[in-house]
Amino acid sequence: MIIKVLGSAAGGGFPQWNCNGVHSANVRAGVPGYKARLQSSLAVSSDGKSWALLNASPDIRQQINETPELHPAKSGPLRNSPIKAVVVTNADVDHITGLLSLREAQPFSIYGSDRVLATLNANSIFNVLAPDKVKRIAFELDKPTPIEGAGADLGLIVEAFAVPGKIALFLEAGDASSNFGSREGDTIGLKVSDAKTGKSFFYIPGCAEVDAPLAERIRGAELLFFDGTLFTDDEMLTQGLLNKTGKRMGHISVSGPDGSIEVLRPLAIKRPIYVHINNSNPILDENSEARKVVEAAGWEVGFDGMEVRL
Ligand code: MLT
Ligand code: MN
């Protein structure tokens, strides 16, 4: 199985178009120790020929152009693509809007929770992906599902599971006491397995909390791509960027007693990698103390173009 990180940033990307915060300004200025990053997406393939995208970011066109494996086959018909399926983990802008760039009458399948597919169904612009060509398939949560698209079996099995999280910002209804209308399935994690080898990894780009069921599920995992949105819960406030904590946005922090480093430490995950990294996160600076802390704890910081083979 081949896994490629197409975009390691959170919503907004790095640098974010309108952000003059310290990290966005530094990466824009070419300060050493910073890498620019596109928005949140991975690609996975069992054979190197047919691919599934895990989330469809607004940067998808650039991500495809920069990834030769995702180009049309030169020997193929006039219109062709190795992308046979897209799996979405929530309805956030950074994870679904790339679907709109996959129009042009190309067959593939979209997989997601019924909650997230309901958002696509309720927004008529997604009908640019004509239902006779682009199937929308709702996961049954906790059930291993073989991924297929455009008549091909991708040789990948995906088990989707609900994780603590939050409804997309633009769907919020109500107040904090109702958690803004969030329900099970608004945010899912994925266990992706190679049908032939049985090797597997987890992809959880959005997660508010590692509760006991989630901890048990990922214990001892060979490979985990995990929510690295913020280093500290209040960093967007202290940097003067946005009046929101990570908790308010449905994201666990990296540091602190309830943060992912500490909570995942006892779970003996062999290769944990942060993705979905917000432009406020100091781990974006390779020379920062925060970066040393995560690396000393055995974590890697995902980057665009990163490839892992299992
Ligand atoms: C998130 O991950 O919380 C969202 O991508 C934020 C946003 O939509 O800007
Ligand atoms: Mn996001």
Give the ligand at the shortest distance from the Cα of 249: 1
Which pLDDT belongs to residue 135? 97
Length of the chain in terms of residues written: 310
Which pLDDT belongs to residue 114? 98
Closest Cα to residue 42, out of 15, 60, 27, 19? Answer: 60
Give the ligand at the shortest distance from the Cα of 171: 1
Show the tokens assigned to 38. Answer: 């596109």
- Cβ of residue 165 lying under 6 Å from some atom of ligand 1: no
Question: CA-to-CA distance for 69 and 262, rounded, in angstroms?
Answer: 36
* C-alpha distances out from residue 301 to 34, 35, 90, 227, Å: 12, 11, 22, 11
Euclidean distance between the first and the last CA atom of the chain, given in angstroms as a whole number: 5
Q: Measured in angstroms, how far is the CA atom of residue 95 from the centroid of ligand 1?
A: 9
Residue with tokens 């209040």: 234
Q: Residue 14 class from Cβ within 10 Å (0-12 exposed, 13-18 middle, 19+ buried)? A: buried
Question: CA-to-CA distance for 116 and 126, rounded, in angstroms?
Answer: 12
Q: What angle do CA 164, 165, 166 make, to 5 degrees?
A: 145
Show the tokens assigned to 78. Answer: 């006039």
Q: Measured in angstroms, how far is the CA atom of residue 11 from the centroid of ligand 2?
A: 5
Show the tokens assigned to 124. Answer: 């008529």
Q: Measured in angstroms, how far is the CA atom of residue 40 from the centroid of ligand 2?
A: 7
Q: Report helix, strand or coil for 127.
A: helix
Which pLDDT belongs to residue 149? 97
Q: Measured in angstroms, how far is the CA atom of residue 152 from the centroid of ligand 1?
A: 32
The per-residue b/e assignment along 179-212, b for 16 or more CB within 10 angstroms, e otherwise, is bbebeebbbbbbbbbbeeeeebbbbbbbbbebee
pTM confidence score: 0.98
| Maximum pairwise Cα distance, the chain | 56
Contacts of 199 (CB under 8 A, 6+ apart): 1, 193, 222, 310
Question: CA-to-CA distance for 228 and 272, rounded, in angstroms?
Answer: 11
Which pLDDT belongs to residue 89? 98
Contact 254, 302 (CB under 8 A): no
Which pLDDT belongs to residue 256? 97
Q: Which residues of the chain have pLDDT under 50?
A: none
Which pLDDT belongs to residue 199? 98
- Indicate the average pLDDT of the chain: 98
The preferred substitution site among 17, 41, 92 for testing ligand 1, maximizing ligand atoms within 8 Å of CB, is: 92
Which pLDDT belongs to residue 162? 98
